[in-house]
Amino acid sequence: MNPIVVAIHGGAGTISRASMTPDREAAYRAVLAASLAAGHAVLAADGGAVDAVLAAVRVMEDSPLFNAGRGSVFTAEGRNEMDAAIMDGRTRAAGAVAGVTRVKNPILAAHAVMRRSAHVLLAGDGAEHFARAQGIELVDPEYFRTDERWAQLERARAADRVALDHDGAAEAEGGERKFGTVGAVALDRAGNLAAGTSTGGMTNKRWGRVGDSPLIGAGTYADNETAAVSATGAGEFFIRAVAAYDVAARMRFAGATLAGAAEATLRESVEPLGGRGGLIALDRHGNVALPFDTEGMYRGVVRDDGVPRIDIYRPESPEN
């Protein structure tokens, strides 16, 4: 019988112990544990990898702590524009949405695009119309408004700059510098892989900027033959490095191991461009790699035994 595995991330960046209170850390760990438990429950009941990814990502989208869904950051216009993608490693079917503003769980809209349209990527109002037509839950934009994110926008506006993902400006003030974004990868009992990513983008962003998260091959990719990958980091660099598919391509064409490929993608493909961040990768044998080149990355893994293993800081976990 195949092993079952779920691995997740809740963003990478400057997450130092000094800037974290025990209560805040406990809150992050609780959501990460709940996310892993949700994904594991699907797989333990012989559910599929795609459904496990949806379950795990939804928990993080529903939390105000992560820059995705409920906790999304604000654009320069004071809106929340969210992106998400999902890919099925068995069929390489994929779906994604970019710039949705009222979809409660963007990962579910991405899934609807994959399952119920002939398309892969839908953007803006059109994506929202599609989601509504598919019965995906929409909410008042006020739902996404958290005081912390609004304060981040006001600080970013004051500094007149774009903050990458859910921080940047804030951290200049001693907070954490973090690339928001959440993601999950899963391996089910049938040996199928899936990957999903969801993000609220960048604080104070303008011009309809789309990052790597909803772009298949950049922030999200899955193929049973190689790996399921979800990335987090400075999105533009991950796009230019085609980072998620770069992991798979190193395995497919160069025979790299999962760990070797994941590490090499960061070191040899993303870093030479000047980019930083992290990614989670999982292969069909259940190998997991969670490399990052930032100070920390919210991350966790659960296997058959259902015991969640969660890390935030360096050093990277042994499994890495």
Which residues contribute to the site for a copy of itself (CB under 8 A)? 87, 92-94, 98-99, 117-127, 129-130, 162, 206-211, 215-218, 221, 235-236, 239-242, 245-246, 249-250, 252-254, 273
- In the residue annotation, 220 being an active-site residue is answered as no
CB 234 within 8 A of CB 260: no
- As given in the structure block, the two tokens for residue 151 are 């304060």
Q: Which amino acid is at 130?
A: F
Strands 228-233 and 277-282: antiparallel
Using the minimum distance from each CB to a copy of itself, give the nearer residue, 123 or 139. Answer: 123
Is the CB of 24 or the CB of 129 nearer to a copy of itself? 129
Which of helix, strand or coil describes residue 108?
helix
Minimum CB–partner distance for residue 255 and a copy of itself (Å): 9
Nearest distance from C-beta of residue 210 to a copy of itself, angstroms: 4
Nearer to a copy of itself, 27 or 273 (CB): 273
Closer residue to a copy of itself in complex, CB, 128/311? 128
**Considering only CA atoms, which of 286, 103, 102 is closest in space to residue 185?**
286
Which CB sits closer to a copy of itself, 122 or 297?
122
**Closest separation in Å from C-beta 144 to a copy of itself:** 18
CB of 180 to a copy of itself, least distance (A): 16
What is the rounded CA–CA span in Å between residue 72 and residue 60? 11
Nearest-approach distance from CB 265 to a copy of itself, in angstroms: 11
Please name the amino acid found at residue 160: D
Residue 17 or residue 116: which is nearer to a copy of itself going by CB?
Answer: 116
Per DSSP, the residues of 163-205 read BSTT-SHHHHTTS-EEE--EEEEEE-TTS-EEEEEEE---BT-
Q: Are 69 and 105 in contact (CB under 8 A)?
A: yes
The distance from CA 109 to its chain's CA centroid, rounded to whole angstroms, is: 15
- Distances from the Cα of 204 to the Cα of 81, 152, 156, angstroms: 11, 9, 6
CA separation for the pair 105, 7 (Å, rounded): 19
- Residue among 181, 197, 232, 265 flagged as catalytic: 181
Neighbours of 104 (CB within 10 A): 21
Closest CA relative to residue 297, chosen from 236, 232, 237, 252: 232
Q: Please give the positions annotated as active site.
A: 181
